Structure 1
Amino acid sequence: MARYFFDVHDGRTFFRDPEGHECADAHQIRHEAMHALPEIARQEIPKLAADTQAFTVFVRNEQGQTVYTATLTFAGLWMDKPIPTD
């Protein structure tokens, strides 16, 4: 199995994966990226509390070449005035 690195960009900061994961094939690379993005978004969206946010995973092989990328976007839109909070 080859090692792949799952780097993340959250629209502000680029986080480089220093360890990587061993993946058997392209299907597993895609699977890992698909599972990582919702977890990252679940933690990070409430921190910024912005109505537009995007999280991108860049998957690099051992040679440093990007072999796969995936993006998850959050977009919130008020249909009227925001409801005041206390």
Structure 2
Amino acid sequence: MLHTPAAKGETFMPAASREEPPLPRYFFDVIGRDGATHDDLGQTFSCAEDARRAALRLLPEVAALERAFAGIDLYSLQVSIRDESGRVVYAATLGITGGWIA
């Protein structure tokens, strides 16, 4: 006789019907010369490290698009990540300094 969980009175749930816990949602807030942008929608990631990598990719993308970046030689842009409770769990800053060489 084959052993199945139901045969011994155990609860059995097929793998396909098991619900996976929801992925954690992270929110990205950006502060630059154009002001602050607060993320109200967030994105889900399988882990905090994936959210960190997304934040680091976001910084140069936003810097390239900011109007205030044109014509200045000192610039910084910050992104912070909030978890679902609203707590800031990570922050990164991109700084650019430039100047003409005489």
Q: For the superposition of Structure 1 and Structure 2, which TM-score range results when normalised by the shorter chain?
A: 0.7 to 0.9
Quick check: 1:45–1:53 contact (8 Å CA) kept in 2? no
Determine the structure 1 residue equivalent to 2:53: 31
Q: CA deviation at 1:26?
A: 1.9
Could you say if the C-alpha distance between residues 34 and 27 of structure 1 is closer, same or farther in structure 2, counting changes exceeding 3 Å? Answer: same
* TM-score, reference length from structure 2: 0.71
Q: CA deviation at 1:40?
A: 0.3
Secondary structure, counterpart of 1:79 in structure 2: coil
Report the RMSD for the aligned CA atoms in angstroms.
1.6
Structure having the higher Rg: 2
Q: Choose between structure 1 and 2 for higher RCO, CA contacts under 8 A separated by at least 6 residues.
A: 1
Could you say if the C-alpha distance between residues 53 and 47 of structure 1 is closer, same or farther in structure 2, counting changes exceeding 3 Å? Answer: closer
Gaps of 5+ in 1: 81-86
- Structure that is richer in strand per residue: 1
Secondary structure, counterpart of 1:57 in structure 2: strand
Quick check: 2:34–2:67 contact (8 Å CA) kept in 1? no
Q: How many residues align?
A: 80
Gaps of 5+ in 2: 1-22
Identity %: 35
